[in-house]
């Protein structure tokens, strides 16, 4: 690790992020302390493995550190709009974003999309037939849980977010097709794939609708 690195540790269901200050401390947005604070690396790690977030494009180290230090003692914590990952990404790139929040919004949107698609399928029973309706079972939501779990697990193990999301999408699509096929054969597999695709489109639209801020609010 080096000064200005974006570092994080995994707490199984979420990750905590900060900026390596280069002097054995980490500057991070702490929910417990209610703002941006400086902690020793050991305190930040809390006995866990420290990962480095690999940004393909980031600002100069001195800019990153200046941003982090300028906000010491400032900013209130907000899970969806100003969490520790928002702060760390803003320090590195000037854009506050959180892969954890985006992943959650995408899954929530996808689930809403699948439920809507299921309703449309049921309403069109005379056109698509009972097999297709049966294939649009709520059981398809199990694929969303598997997809979300895969993305979260890989991300917490240090896998790049885009790679984790790609693997998760493969799990979600495969699961949707398998569940649909089990419920309705070839027609069910097509229904499962179609509902998964609709859910993904709606989920990604939900993420785009919440554009990141250029800096955290103080």
- 144 inside domain: yes
For the residues of 9-32, what is the DSSP string, one character each?
EE-SS-EEEEEE-SSSEEEEEETT
What span, in angstroms and rounded, lies between the C-alpha atoms of 3 and 100?
24
Q: What is the pLDDT of residues 132-156, one digit of tens each?
A: 666 667 788 888 889 888 888 887 7
What span, in angstroms and rounded, lies between the C-alpha atoms of 58 and 54?
9
Residues 89 and 182 in one domain: no
Q: What is the pLDDT of residues 33-73, one digit of tens each?
A: 778 999 999 999 999 999 998 888 899 999 999 999 998 98
Residues 108 and 92 in one domain: no
- 128 inside domain: yes
Query: Across residues 17-24, what is the average pLDDT?
Result: 95
For residue 20, the enclosing domain spans 6-97
H-helix or E-strand spanning residue 143: helix 141-156
Domain end, chosen from 69, 97, 125, is at 97
Residues 113 and 133 in one domain: yes
Is-contact 134 183, C-beta < 8 A?
yes
pLDDT number for residue 218:
45
- 66 inside domain: yes
What span, in angstroms and rounded, lies between the C-alpha atoms of 170 and 165?
9
The confidence band for 121, taking pLDDT boundaries of 50, 70 and 90, is low
Query: Across residues 109-123, what is the average pLDDT?
Result: 66
Cα 75 to chain centroid, rounded? 22
When divided into structural domains, the chain yields a total of 2
Residues 69 and 89 in one domain: yes
């Amino acid at each position: 690790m080096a000064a200005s690195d974006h570092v994080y540790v995994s707490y199984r269901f979420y990750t905590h992020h900060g900026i390596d200050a280069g002097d054995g401390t980490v500057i991070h947005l702490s929910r417990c302390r209610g703002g941006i604070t400086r902690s020793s690396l050991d305190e930040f790690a809390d006995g866990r493995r420290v990962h480095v977030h690999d940004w393909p494009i980031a600002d100069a180290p001195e800019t990153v550190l200046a941003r982090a230090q300028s906000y010491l003692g400032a900013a209130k914590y907000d899970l969806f709009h100003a969490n520790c990952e928002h702060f760390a990404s803003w320090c590195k790139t000037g854009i506050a974003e959180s892969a954890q929040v985006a992943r959650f919004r995408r899954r929530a949107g996808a689930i809403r999309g699948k439920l809507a698609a299921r309703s449309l399928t049921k309403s069109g029973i005379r056109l698509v037939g009972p097999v297709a309706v049966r294939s649009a079972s709520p059981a398809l939501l199990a694929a969303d849980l598997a997809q979300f779990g895969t993305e979260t697990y890989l991300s917490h193990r240090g896998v790049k977010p885009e790679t984790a999301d790609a693997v998760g999408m493969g799990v979600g699509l495969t699961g949707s097709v398998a569940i649909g096929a089990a419920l309705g054969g070839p027609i069910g597999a097509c229904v499962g794939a179609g509902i998964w695709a609709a859910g993904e489109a709606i989920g990604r639209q939900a993420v785009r609708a919440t554009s990141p801020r250029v800096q955290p609010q103080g």
